[in-house]
A = this chain, B = another copy of it.
Amino acid sequence: MSWNCKVYKFAMSSPDDMSQFENLLNEGEIKAEHVVCIIAKTEGNGRVNDFSRPLAHRAFRRVICDHAKKSVDEVEGSVAFVMSGGCEGIMSPHATVFVREPSDRVNNDGAKKLTFATANTRKLLPEEIGTLTQVDLVATGVKQAICDAEIESIDDVHYVQVKCPILTSERINEARSRGQEPVTVDTLRSLGYSNGASALGIAVGLREIDADIKASEICSNEKLYTDRGGASAGIELMNLQIFVMGNSKTSASHLVIGHHRLDDLIDADGVRQAIRSVGIDVEGSVKAKDQNRIINVFAKGQVPLDGLLRGRRTTLLTDSDLNTRPARAVLSSVIASIVGDPAIYVSAGWGYHQGPTGGGIAAVIAKA
């Protein structure tokens, strides 16, 4: 008996709309105990005070608890909940559920197919957020998940998603009460540091860069980056949750994953390369007949740190009302205009180490 890796995407009418997830469970399409990861785009501001994330998190967890008849702690230990806030523009709130179930199917065409696995770390202390400790924990988790997913070659990893914690006033005060100083006292900026450290952890775990990083290089040395992963920081957890996706000959899945680097936030050609990497032809936008082969796109984008895009000034760093929120609208619009579906996963903002500076990553899961 082998494993079948299945992926379901469904729309959500609010962060706690579980109707389509309940349908999948009630119809027997999936079993709650086989869910290993849920990656949702929820419609909060994607920042410190984004309560759409814990709301969706609680709702998904409760459904799994009830269906699998497990406690909250048991479910937290076996499922990675990646709730990513921010559906600016036309990005449509939705969730992607990753299911790994025992199967009689055999991968008999010899081609590598989709596989995935998760790894969870211990809780971080507030003063560890955004530090080398976080880098190390992520790197170790990545390696462990690659092993669990039975991915033979590191080149077959195409996307690593990390969920990581941020600082709040309370967490900063708590650290200081113990005489410890966090990397920043700006709660909003702590998102960037946490995401940056996670990304370096991915790059180390995938051997894209050397492991001997200096603390001062976190969110500073632009040359260090992964082009196969992204992080999404949030208030609702204090540990690190790692989810690795790749292709493997041992997988009996009907699906396959590929990726491509994005050179900037409007790199439409990079998006098309990612689509072609899973065997779908595309010149301008994906043809109508091929659109339903694409299950989802997972993309990470970073605001250019000098504020310039193709030599032109943008307002991404100087609009104090919106801050970098429109970056998610930018990248998701470019991708949606190509794949023809606004229900895609895009995380973007002030960031480092997730693709080249000012750029990012796009991974595509499609029917093989």
Determine if B88 and A329 form an interchain contact, defined as CB atoms under 8 angstroms apart.
yes
Contacts of A211 in B (CB 8 A): none
Determine if A88 and B169 form an interchain contact, defined as CB atoms under 8 angstroms apart.
no
A23-31, A40-48, A120-128, A248-256 - the one binding chain B: A40-48
Is A259 interfacial (CB 8 A cutoff)? Answer: no
Determine if A312 and B343 form an interchain contact, defined as CB atoms under 8 angstroms apart.
yes
Name the contact of A316 in the complex, choosing from B89, B168, B315, B341 (C-beta under 8 A).
B89
Is A327 interfacial (CB 8 A cutoff)? Answer: yes
Q: Look across to chain B and name the residue whose beta carbon is closest to the beta carbon of A339.
A: B266
Determine if B49 and A342 form an interchain contact, defined as CB atoms under 8 angstroms apart.
no
A188 to B320 CA separation, bound complex (whole angstroms): 7
A309 to B315 CA separation, bound complex (whole angstroms): 26
Tell me how far the C-beta of A328 lies from the nearest C-beta in chain B, rounded to whole angstroms: 9
A49-B320, A312-B341 given as contacts; is B330 within 8 A of A266 (CB)?
Answer: no
Determine if A49 and B88 form an interchain contact, defined as CB atoms under 8 angstroms apart.
no
A50-58, A95-103, A200-208 - the one binding chain B: A50-58
Chain B proximity mask over A309-349: 1 for CB below 8 Å, otherwise 0: 11011111111111101110111011011101111000000
Name the contact of A284 in the complex, choosing from B15, B48, B268 (C-beta under 8 A).
B268
Q: Is the interface of A mostly helix, strand, loop or mixed?
A: loop
Determine if B189 and A186 form an interchain contact, defined as CB atoms under 8 angstroms apart.
yes
Is A277 interfacial (CB 8 A cutoff)? Answer: no
Q: Count of A residues near B, CB < 8 Å?
A: 81
Contacts of A268 in B (CB 8 A): 284-285, 337-338
Is A272 interfacial (CB 8 A cutoff)? Answer: yes
Q: Which of A11, A52, A330 has the most CB of B within 10 A?
A: A330
- The B-contacting residues of A in range 136-161, CB under 8 angstroms, are none
Q: Look across to chain B and name the residue whose beta carbon is closest to the beta carbon of A284.
A: B284
Contacts of A338 in B (CB 8 A): 268
Name the contact of A87 in the complex, choosing from B15, B47, B314 (C-beta under 8 A).
B314
- The B-contacting residues of A in range 272-295, CB under 8 angstroms, are 272, 282-285
Which 3 A-B residue pairings sit nearest by Cβ, starting from the closest?
Answer: A47-B320, A169-B307, A92-B312
* Partner-B contacts on A (CB < 8 A): 11, 13-16, 42-45, 47-52, 54-55, 58-59, 87-94, 168-170, 172-173, 185-189, 235, 265-269, 272, 282-285, 305-310, 312-323, 325-327, 329-331, 333-334, 336-338, 340-343
